[in-house]
Amino acid sequence: MTSRLAKYNLDRDKKVLGKEWLLTYGNYFSDEDNIQLFISAVKPFLPNKELDILYVASASGLLGERLLANLGKANLTIVDISQKHLDENKNPKTKRFCLDLLDMDLGKKFDLIIMRSALDYFPSEELQITVLKIIKRHLKSEGLFINQPAYISDVVERNLVSLMYNTVNKIGKRLFQSSDLESIYLNAGFNFFEKIGGGKILNLTEQDHIKRYGLTGDDIGLGQEILKDCKNSARVTKKGYNLKFEFPIFLAK
Ligand SMILES: C[S@@+](CC[C@H](N)C(=O)[O-])C[C@H]1O[C@@H](n2cnc3c(N)ncnc32)[C@H](O)[C@@H]1O
């Protein structure tokens, strides 16, 4: 079953589903250096055995496939709300499930669950706690959850950028991650939380949003109005705005 929220967000991602995703935002999500930063942050924490890995909100699963190839021995399962994304995965050994994470019940537990740039698609603290509880239920007792979220460390600016996404109705609903993330994890039942690395900074302008979401001048004006007091991770410019997302990597169990 697909929730109304998932459908709302999926409709707004229409232009970037499938092949297009890896070309979005200057190839940020298929950038090999970025993928290697993720792998080298995670690898030291992994036990030396054949791992069952679950990649949630995976799109085509590229990050998981790269990790798998690097480890040499592991089994990968990917889950996403978009079949178009999942169809881009060409590894016959990888298991694929098209479902809403809010409904996920795979009847199996994993050694490692990974997530990247997806917790923000659950646009309230309550929904994020619900999703994290579902993820935790899929972890073995010694299992690890590694998440690399779209992050804005200044909470006030995180709130304004999220408000901008939620107000401009061509963009999907989001609540980006910030310094309150650890308390959200604790509320979801995780009792260990640590930053173990980081990816490249993702810099966006209104041009990236025009391409991805088809924003008009009015949409950009509305965004500028909401962001007008931001000074750090967001800035209003003459033509639109600049946004800066950090991508820290967190380990939890
Ligand atoms: C920003 S993309 C990140 C994709 C991938 N993790 C990566 O790093 O390239 C967010 C992903 O979350 C998926 N997604 C959004 N809401 C979802 C939901 N409710 N259930 C499952 N997947 C969802 C989207 O389809 C998309 O693939």
Q: What is the 3-state secondary structure (H, E, C) of the chain?
A: CCCHHHHHHHHHCHHHCHHHHHHCCCCHHHCHHHHHHHHHHHHHHCCCCCEEEEEECCCCCHHHHHHHHHHCCEEEEEEECCHHHHCCCCCCCCEEEECCHHHCCCCCCEEEEEEECCHHHCCCHHHHHHHHHHHHHCEEEEEEEEEECCECCCHHHHHHHHHHHHHCCCCCCCCCECCCHHHHHHHCCCCCEEEEEECCCEEEEHHHHHHHHCCCHHHHHHHHHHHCCCCCCEEECCCCEEEEEECEEEEEC
Looking at the CA of residue 10, tell me the nearest atom of ligand 1: 25
The 10s digit of each residue's pLDDT in 118-151 is: 999 999 999 999 999 999 999 999 999 999 999 9
Looking at the CA of residue 29, tell me the nearest atom of ligand 1: 9
pLDDT surpasses 70 at 1:
no
Half-sphere exposure of 100 (CA within 13 A, CB side): 16
Q: Which residues line ligand 1 (CB under 6 A)?
A: 6, 9, 29, 57-59, 63, 80-82, 85, 100-102, 116-118, 121
pLDDT surpasses 80 at 2:
no
Could you tell me the distance, in angstroms and rounded to a whole number, from the CA of residue 80 to the centre of ligand 1?
Answer: 6
Could you tell me the distance, in angstroms and rounded to a whole number, from the CA of residue 136 to the centre of ligand 1?
Answer: 18
Q: State the Cα–Cα distance between residues 238 and 117, nearest whole angstrom.
A: 28
Best mutation site among 14, 117, 120, 138 for ligand 1 pocket (most ligand atoms within 8 Å of CB): 117
Could you tell me the distance, in angstroms and rounded to a whole number, from the CA of residue 31 to the centre of ligand 1?
Answer: 17
Q: Domain boundaries in the chain?
A: 16-153+175-201+246-252
Burial class (CB in 10 A: 0-12, 13-18, 19+), 224: middle
Could you tell me the distance, in angstroms and rounded to a whole number, from the CA of residue 13 to the centre of ligand 1?
Answer: 10
The 10s digit of each residue's pLDDT in 19-74 is: 999 999 999 999 999 999 999 999 999 999 999 999 999 999 999 999 999 999 99
The residue whose CA is least distant from atom 18 of ligand 1 is: 100
Average pLDDT score over the chain: 97
CATH class of 16-153+175-201+246-252: alpha beta
Could you tell me the distance, in angstroms and rounded to a whole number, from the CA of residue 180 to the centre of ligand 1?
Answer: 21
Taken in order 45, 48, 54, 57, the sign of the CA dihedral is: positive
Q: What is the pLDDT of residue 125?
A: 98
Could you tell me the distance, in angstroms and rounded to a whole number, from the CA of residue 242 to the centre of ligand 1?
Answer: 23
pLDDT surpasses 80 at 200:
yes
Q: Which two tokens stand for residue 52?
A: 């069952």
Q: Measured in whole angstroms, how far is the alpha carbon of residue 207 from the centre of its chain?
A: 21
The residue whose CA is least distant from atom 13 of ligand 1 is: 57
